[in-house]
Amino acid sequence: MAAIERCETLYAGIGRPAMFRVPSLVPTMAEALERRGYAAFGQSLTLMADLTGPAGGPDPAVVFLDDPNQAWLAARSALTRADAETDRVYRTMTGCIVLPKTFAAVIVDGAVAAMAYGAIDGRLAVIESVGTLAPMRGRGLGRRVVGALMGWARIQGAFGVCLQVQADNTGAVMLYRALGFTRELSRYVYFRKETPAD
């Protein structure tokens, strides 16, 4: 497939291995990649919740920021164990969002314990970068930050909100379903070349 070859050439030109994200809506791409020696990994779900019914009140533990501050970014970096280049790309990417957006955090003992951000396009909101730092897990902080962003989206006029979650993260999938993310819009999976064992 010519598109795969072009991507391989492009990535080889910058000294990086090609990697593909293939949505479930394009099964022929997955088959073509497998024939070329690529293996699937990291399946994710895109889930949607309707924003109907009465809105809950504000959560005093959740703070909203127009842009991510240093504490928010440092917590995200610690959560993902990102290297300096990944952090730089993430900061640049979030700085380029031109849609209405907000960055939310749950603060515990003066530090960011859970975070996520939301953006709205038309009347649909997207929640991204959801995470709770390991020592703070099991306290409902992820539920609080996502719930607060759902409330923010409703106030902004959104009728629905979607997010992505790793399919094998059963705890997060159960949490999101409990929050109303009951409609699966699509799935996607990453593909990379299998490397022979040394």
| pLDDT at 197 (0 to 100) | 52
pLDDT one-digit tens code per residue, 45-95: 999 999 987 667 788 889 999 999 999 999 999 999 988 888 999 999 999
The pLDDT value given to residue 52: 84
Q: pLDDT-derived band of residue 146, with 50, 70 and 90 as boundaries?
A: very high
Q: Which residue has the higher pLDDT, 56 or 169?
A: 169
What is the third-level CATH fold of 53-158? Aminopeptidase (3.40.630)
Quick one: pLDDT at residue 166?
94
Using the predicted structure, report yes or no on whether residue 10 has a pLDDT greater than 60.
yes
DSSP per-residue letters across the chain: -HHHHHHHHHHHHTT---EEEEETT-HHHHHHHHHTTEEEEEEEEEEEEE--SPPPPP-TTEEEESS--HHHHHHHHHHHT--HHHHHHHHHHHHT--SSEEEEEEEETTEEEEEEEEEEETTEEEEEEEEE-GGGTTSSHHHHHHHHHHHHHHHTT-SEEEEEEETT-HHHHHHHHHTT--EEEEEEEEEEEPPPP-
Domain boundaries, the chain: 53-158
- Position 24 scores a pLDDT of 86
Tell me if the pTM is above 0.75: yes
28: pLDDT strictly greater than 80: yes
